[in-house]
Amino acid sequence: MTVVRQVPLRFARDGGGEEQGTDLSTVCRDGTVLWVAGDEGPVLHRLSAEPQDGAYGDLVTFPLGDLVDLPEGPGREVDVEGMDRAGDHLWLVGSHSRTRKRVDPDDDDRDVPAILAEVKVRPNRNVLIRLSLAGEGAAARPVTGALLDGDLLTALAADELLRPFLAIPGKDGGLDIEGLVAVDDGLLLGLRGPVLRGWAVVLEIRPRTDPDDPARLTLDGTDPGYRTLFLDLDGLGVRDLCRLGDDVLVLAGPTMDLDGPARLYRWPGAATAQRSTVGRDLLRVAEVATGTGPEEGSDHPEGITVVADADPIEVLVVYDSPATARRPFPGTVLADVLRLSVPRQVTPEPADRSAPAVPVTR
């Protein structure tokens, strides 16, 4: 891995908002702005490029409950884990995972079995959201939304391979969506879990507007409404996906609640209609650092987006539970820019979706 610079993401200027930016789980570069979201609050953040020092700031936050009718109401977490822009739409996906209660250090040992037995279903997580955008650059904003609410879980309930994992919490190796990328007229959803005998799973779907309700989405296509793809990621699961021309970059990591390894792979031709259902020849292009030593348990790489798509390719990585060194000031977290060592072998994206990376010094 080559970290060529670090980019400050400013969620506050006045010392407030110290906790913002500590739970980032997905990021999407859109010209001169970054769309970012976390796995806690049900909100979408927009950060704008600040050319004077290469940071992203001028935070604007959009509550998702103001844009779509969330099943648990606007205040409960969505656990957004994947995001991408396609045309005038921004797509977001919740993890679709169940949760198991965490054992805290001060819990009585006698209570541990009962604590671990508590598993919750969180309907706000079981959504796919399509937001319609208006404006460009720092003026871009979501104006309306449409929702796919639980339909994917309903379809997977009859799936021979994935059905047994639906009742298992995500951090235990159960169903856990942690990546989204727009391709052709559909979406690829990467699963952190389950990993099936070493094979990572990606779901291909083509959501469409419900003809009877423009605020709802449906799964399009022949039964069952999705296609299952399998990737050889050396036993790791998908943590995020992003497009690089006709290819897709895959951020991979453990299915369980572990720090690493974390790696970046290039999936050739995955953004085209000719993509194979079995990806055996993915190219490992980077090792991504995680917290070690005193910082073990921090710095979980969770989101990736391309910031320079001409050779050399550069990818921005955001982290959940950032290490102390990644939080130099209250309300500011540092994202890494990695330079990939492999030449690009794909067709460039349209020029209006490209923005030069802004040089940043540490």
At a CB cut-off of 8 Å and minimum separation 6, what does 135 contact? 141
Mean pLDDT in consecutive groups of 10 residues from the start of the chain, 362 residues: 88 62 90 91 94 91 96 93 96 95 92 93 96 94 96 96 96 95 94 96 96 94 89 96 95 85 94 89 90 78 90 91 89 93 51 38 30
Domain residue limits, the chain: 3-352
Residue at 79: amino acid letter? D
In this structure, the strands spanning 43-50 and 55-63 are: antiparallel
pTM for this model (two decimals) = 0.90
Please return the burial class of 305, using the count of CB atoms within 10 Å of its CB with bins 0-12, 13-18 and 19+.
buried
Rounded distance between C-alpha atoms, residue 294 and residue 259, angstroms:
13
Select from 306, 286, 303, 304 the least CA-distant residue to 349. Answer: 306
pLDDT given at position 348: 42
Neighbouring CB atoms inside 10 A of 167's CB total 11
HSE-up of residue 253 (Cα within 13 Å, Cβ side): 25
Select from 47, 64, 50 the least CA-distant residue to 11. Answer: 47
Rounded distance between C-alpha atoms, residue 174 and residue 179, angstroms:
15
DSSP 124: G
At a CB cut-off of 8 Å and minimum separation 6, what does 174 contact? 97, 98, 165, 166, 167, 168, 193, 194
pLDDT given at position 19: 62
pLDDT given at position 146: 97
At a CB cut-off of 8 Å and minimum separation 6, what does 308 contact? 314, 356, 357
Q: What is the four-CA torsion angle of 95, 130, 321, 254, rounded to 10 degrees?
A: 40
What class, spelled out in words, does domain 3-352 have in CATH? mainly beta
- Cβ contact 342:265 at 8 Å: no
Note the Cα 138 to chain centre separation in Å.
Answer: 22
Rounded distance between C-alpha atoms, residue 356 and residue 341, angstroms:
19
Rounded distance between C-alpha atoms, residue 82 and residue 179, angstroms:
4
* Strand, coil or helix: 294: helix
Rounded distance between C-alpha atoms, residue 64 and residue 42, angstroms:
6
Determine the Cα angle at 333 with ends 331 and 337, to 5°: 155
Rounded distance between C-alpha atoms, residue 144 and residue 311, angstroms:
37
pLDDT given at position 13: 57
Structure tokens at 36: 């970012």
